[in-house]
Structure 1
Amino acid sequence: MIHNDNSKANILLVEDEENLHDTLKLNLELEGYSITSAYTGNQALKAIQNEYFDLIIMDIMLPEIDGISVTENIRVQQLDVPVLILSAKNTGADRVLGLRKGADDYMTKPFNLEELLLRVEKLIQKNKKLQTKETVGDTYEFENNKIDFKAQEATTWDGKKVDLSKKESMLLKLLIENKNEVVTREKILQVVWGYNVYPTTRTIDNFILSFRKYFESDTRNPRHFHSVRGMGYKYTD
């Protein structure tokens, strides 16, 4: 596999079976990745505190703390690093649990090495794209609307002042930073609501309706804030 960029991606490999660990480490290093090894859940958590990773490959069955709990812990800390879970269990329930707790991908053992390497590369590339998203500053203007994220207030297209709640500000910022792209409900839940609270889709829809009321001159034909059925939400300027 050819890596387009020269910077080595840094991978945390969390696997307590030594033979498998060594095999994976060797193959990943041959692909040009830099590998940090952890053999227990606690070692993994320690490593995450100490350095930045582009990807974590996480076994579920680990001594001390299992891989699902480690993944949950990473997400509670608001870390966006992609996590690929390896599991000896092949039930749908385990896969769903892993993904619900914040894993980005899930493979069951025994797995095909080539497929693992492909998925690793995909997750790292996707993460790099996300990292280079434009971030918006403290204020943002579009049409005649102005949003002040710091003060949590907005001036609408017809000159009205509106106070924004913390959640409204966060959701606006997330949508604007991902301009012209659909932001999934999962991403919104992760960034705006955190992991333990699951608002219904209707809750997010109501936020979008509020944004249209504030920022659209024609709420029936919104230009900026869109619900994309079955997928998520989108801002266009």
Structure 2
Amino acid sequence: MDDPLSRAGQSKTKPLADKRRRMNPSEREAQIVEGAIGFFAEHGFEGKTRDLAKRLGITQPLLYRYFPSKESLIERVYQEIYLQRWNPEWESLIPDRDRPLVDRLTRFYKEYARAVYDFVWVRIFLYSGLKGVDINDRYLAIIKDKILVPVCRELRHDNGLPPMEDVPFNNEELELAWGLHGMFFYRAVRHFAYGLPIAKDIDRVIENDVRVFVTGARAVHGSMLERADR
């Protein structure tokens, strides 16, 4: 498999070969969205639409003909970068008890890395949190519901603990799952935001992360439920 980090920086906006070429509406809309993705990744959401239009070689009124507000353009960026890269098939990986939990988590995070370890994905996500754009809240709600809660459920099953139907889910368990996801995400932040080198063999690093997580969770998970019960 290809290394997701080998694409570092390739998603930055490239200069247009011919800014004056006439485009049909669908081509123009795609050009604006692609340009906005690179622009926001480099400048954050403080970037002005007039600067984006100038960069694209179009007028600001033409940009607003396709996207009547900056917010509508940001929404399209969210759809393009975050929702379209989400693979619904990932959601069936973690609950698949025909395979060991370590294998399930490892496969998920390897596939997920190939979708999100990317210059524009990481930087737009960080900028949205700093600016207060709701991209973070909406996307992290998906992560919690589709990934983290299922991880906690499968950890209980793997460790021989009561199911959530018998013992309610608690925030300490959720923090445990966030720990694994946080390791995964911070590696991308170090590379795409801080410009620091990281291991080239991302698959091997993810395998190590998952083993450490599952082993550590086995040691503390039961005591978490006992504290919650008390």
Q: Give the alignment's TM-score, normalised by structure 2.
A: 0.29
- Higher relative contact order, structure no. (Cα contacts within 8 Å, ≥ 6 residues apart): 2
Structure (1 or 2) with the greater helix fraction? 2
